[in-house]
Amino acid sequence: MGKICTSVPARDRRRLAMDIARAFSEGSDIVEVRFDYSSINSLGDMLDAVMEHRDRMVFTCRSRGEGGVFDGSEAERLIILKRLASFRPMLLDVEYSTLTGDHGEELYDHLRALDCDLLVSYHDFNRTPSRDDLAGIMHDMLEYSSSVKMVTMAKSIDDNESILSLYDKIGSSGVRLVAFCMGEHGLASRVLCTLLGAPFTYAALDEPLAPSQLTLRQMRAVYDALHRRCSSAKGIRGDRCTIDMVAGVIGSVLHGHV
């Protein structure tokens, strides 16, 4: 029903290779490798562990300002992003704030010269902006790539409707939008986004790398339960009734009732 991208941290080469193999064996369609858990000195080893599957991978070295854990300097992180781009993964995740920052223009020109496919990302760990503000941010992000990721913190169930309203904005424009909410109140949007047009959603292997991130097994179980209830995604909407239904299915899966 929906493609899943499983996020794994790049802490140790052997563990990373095992996590990637396990994610794919358990049904993950894509794997996101979080290189911000690594260092500039260990990058070569980590890349050796991922090369075989890079055409099914999102490479990320998340900035600390948007939830990353990289211990090096920003200059080192930009060097890592450039090196990751040279290996031509399926997508390279680069924050919108990085592309509009002090060295953003030079970085963007370098990535374009490498013909690297960008996933431009935006994260707000404090709130979900208004629908108009979200649409405006997305419009600006699309200047850099037609693949865009927007993730915000849900303070209430209503925030799911706000973030999912972006799928009505893009229609059949060809924009590849991944948009959902973090946090306990945002779980339904993590599932619904793929049914509304997102190319994939995110899950954890074991350790959540974002607030209230479901595991790959949990996400698969939720989609299976939804498939039994609704055999087709046709007619699925991001309205409150659908959000409540999906939230109920998630609750049943998490509490072992499915």
**Residues 6, 116, 97: CA angle, nearest 5 degrees:** 75
124 phi and psi angles, rounded to 5 deg: -125, 105
Measured CA to CA, the distance from residue 192 to residue 184 in angstroms comes to 15
Selecting among 123, 155, 169, 257, the annotated active-site residue is 123
Give how far the C-alpha of residue 43 lies from the chain's centroid of Cα atoms, to the nearest Å.
21
Coil, helix or strand at residue 47 = helix
Measured CA to CA, the distance from residue 130 to residue 133 in angstroms comes to 5
Measured CA to CA, the distance from residue 43 to residue 5 in angstroms comes to 21
Selecting among 82, 110, 149, 227, the annotated active-site residue is 149
Measured CA to CA, the distance from residue 161 to residue 63 in angstroms comes to 27
SS (H, E, C) 109-174: HHHHHCCCCEEEEEEECCCCCCHHHHHHHHHHHCCCCCEEEEEEECCCCHHHHHHHCHHHHHCCCC
Record the tokens describing residue 26, joined without a space: 């358990």
Coil, helix or strand at residue 91 = strand
Identify any residues that bridge with 202 across adjacent strands, giving them in sequence order: 5
Q: Identify whether 123 is a catalytic site residue.
A: yes
Record the tokens describing residue 134, joined without a space: 């979200």
Rg (CA), the chain: 18
Instruction: Report, as residue numbers or ranges, the catalytic residues.
Output: 123, 149
